Amino acid sequence: MTPNSGWTPDQPIISLRNVHKSFGELEVLKGVTFDVMKGEVVCIIGPSGSGKSTLIRCINALNDIQEGSIQVEGQEVHDAHLDKLELRKKVGMVFQQYNLFPHKTALQNIMMAPVKVLKEPKEEVEKRARALMAKVRLQGKEDAYPGELSGGQQQRVAIARSLAMRPDVMLFDEVTAALDPETVKEVLVTIKDLAAEGMTCILVTHEMGFAREVADHIYFTDRGVIVEHGPPATFFTEASDPRTKEFLSQIL
Amino acid sequence: MARDIPGIAAPARTDLPVLKPFRPGSFAPDSMAWSRWLAGLPPWTPLALLAVAFAWPTVAVAQTDMSAGEAWGILVRWIPFIVGSGFVFTVLISILSMLIGTLLGAMLGLAQISKNGLVRRFAWSVTQLFRNSPWLVILYIVLLALPFEVVIFGAVLAIPDWVKAVFGLSLPIMANISEIVRGAVQSVPTAQWEASESLAFSRRQTLWQIILPQCFKRMIPPWMNWYAILTMATPLCSLLGVEETITLTRQALEAENNRPALLVPFYGFALILFFAYCYPIARWTISLERKFAVKL
Ligand SMILES: Nc1ncnc2c1ncn2[C@@H]1O[C@H](COP(=O)(O)OP(=O)(O)O)[C@@H](O)[C@H]1O
Ligand SMILES: [Mg+2]
């Protein structure tokens, strides 16, 4: 992040060590450790309430942690002096409910942060935004308001909106969970393209087929800890943890 | 999955759906009830009022020293005075009070959602104090507390009573606008805060560029509602001797020797003036409210 953090691209771009997170009395993360290399696609699966959302929200400092360490490009996130805004310029996030700005058109949604936050020239940003609209296969919808778009279209605008900041890492929190089965695919295709281009992605997902296809590594979380992990080739067939087995048998 | 955003959301315990507990306050009438009622009246209401006011001398037998026509004739002579000086001044007072109240109220409302807990508590207290005190008491306190003149750079500047009245009326307006601003900002889902935060917007940028533009329209109908309520409250100033509609009506009646048969027609006319001014505002307010409710 800062030039003097000593991070080089051959080191993990994201590194979690023994992360603990509580909401008051409720301990949601109980010591989570993993690394993500640049260009890797990591999927996090697990039952509802196991802390998946909390985990990835800690990575862009939407939630703070009580113990342990999270480093993004060598920069400690769990640091009171951290410039959160600088961190978030590097880490994009897409939510389950899209959360587009309803008073702005699709194009304006994409342009807003680069223009207002990065202070980039408007013409340049607009060019990039239009290219992003094409990339997520939404040409012609530039002037539509979120309310006029389907869930799948809104989610793709949300992805484009994050990409417009040119992040180094993208976080996806169950981005297809609120969509109709038919529109799930169009969003997954967009993410797959992104992964193929070498974007570092951390995805919370219930789409096992998708995870098997694009993930470099899969983590299974339950009750705040990672109970099983591995590359997709072995994860689905050789899971040894009983909870993972049970979960997979239910979902596959 | 609501997260605690200081000043915006109470800390959420869980994202599971839960039954909302019973809230006694939820049965309180909504603040727009007044405009809703006024806008619901048929447009011929002022004519009916006028007819009743003038039929009064004829009906009240004991007082019939004068026919309705005679009363009307006397009133017509006074109308330029009551409307031209009195009501114009009423409108001026209401507009000035509204301007000051809106300005102060917007600032107080934003202070109510400040990140700083101390600022928030202070703004909340001021808001509650002026929202829940009788307007007349506030007026008297302002009248007595403000000096009747101030010295600026050696020049003595008198503060006339009507200026104090404007300021006094603007205080309850300030408090109610403050609540409108706070309520509107908090009506925007916290997910919007999180979305813009994760795009690296600062809190200030989020508020001004994402949140306020979304809820600005929502504030307009309740704001207009308070303008109409304020206008209806301006006769309170007559108790301070400010020469608005009611003061001048009383002066006119005195000039006519306070003849009993004139009282109801004159005050009835004043009522109709207020009605004629506030009725279109209320209709407009409610139609805007409907329009904005459909489209964000
Ligand atoms: N802001 C919050 N305040 C209190 N508890 C929370 C908050 N957010 C999540 N939780 C709790 O943390 C646990 C994990 O939630 P979450 O990370 O959303 O799980 P998942 O995404 O795996 O379904 C749940 O029990 C949830 O109720
Ligand atoms: Mg979740």
| Fold type of domain A14-75+82-251 | Rossmann fold (3.40.50)
Compare CB distances from A88 to B191, B192, B199 and report the shortest one's residue.
B199
Q: What is the pLDDT of residue A56?
A: 94
User: What pLDDT band is residue B13 in, cutting at 50, 70 and 90?
Assistant: very low
Please determine, for residue A46, whether its predicted confidence score (pLDDT) is greater than 60: yes
Ligand index nearest the alpha carbon of residue A223: 1
Q: What pLDDT score does A88 carry?
A: 95
Asked whether the beta carbons of A57 and A63 are under 8 A apart, the reply is yes
Q: Report H helices in A144-180.
A: 151-163
Asked whether the predicted pLDDT for residue B110 surpasses 90, the reply is yes
Q: Taking 80 as the threshold, does the pLDDT of residue B139 lie above it?
A: yes
- Mean pLDDT across B231-237: 93
Say which range, A9-13, A213-217, B2-6, has the weakest mean pLDDT.
B2-6
Instruction: Determine contact, residues B277/B36, Cβ cutoff 8 Å.
Output: no
Per-residue confidence band for B57, with pLDDT thresholds at 50, 70 and 90: low
Q: How far apart are CA A217 and CA B214, in angstroms?
A: 40
Q: Do B201 and A63 touch (CB under 8 A)?
A: no
Centre of ligand 1 to C-alpha A179, Å, is 21
Contact B131, B226 (CB under 8 A): no
Burial of A11 (0-12, 13-18, 19+ CB in 10 A): middle
On average, the pLDDT of chain A sits at 92
Instruction: Reply yes or no on whether the pLDDT at B199 is more than 60.
Output: yes
Q: Is A44 helix (H, G, I), strand (E, B) or coil?
A: strand
Contact between B224 and B285 under an 8 Å Cβ cutoff? The reply is yes
Predicted TM-score (pTM) of the model is 0.85
- With a cut of 70, say whether residue B267 has pLDDT above it: yes
Structural fold of domain B46-289 = MetI-like fold (1.10.3720)
pLDDT for A188: 92
> Strands across the sheet with A75-76, in order?
A26-36, A14-23, A67-72, A75-76
CA dist A105 and A148 (Å) reads 10
Confidence grade of residue A1 (pLDDT, cut at 50, 70, 90): very low
Q: With a threshold of 0.85, tell me whether the complex ipTM lies above it.
A: yes
Q: Per residue in B162-192, pLDDT tens?
A: 999 999 999 999 999 999 999 999 999 999 9
Q: For chain A, positions 200-229, list CB contacts with chain B under 8 A.
A: none
Q: Is the CB of B15 under 6 A from ligand 1?
A: yes
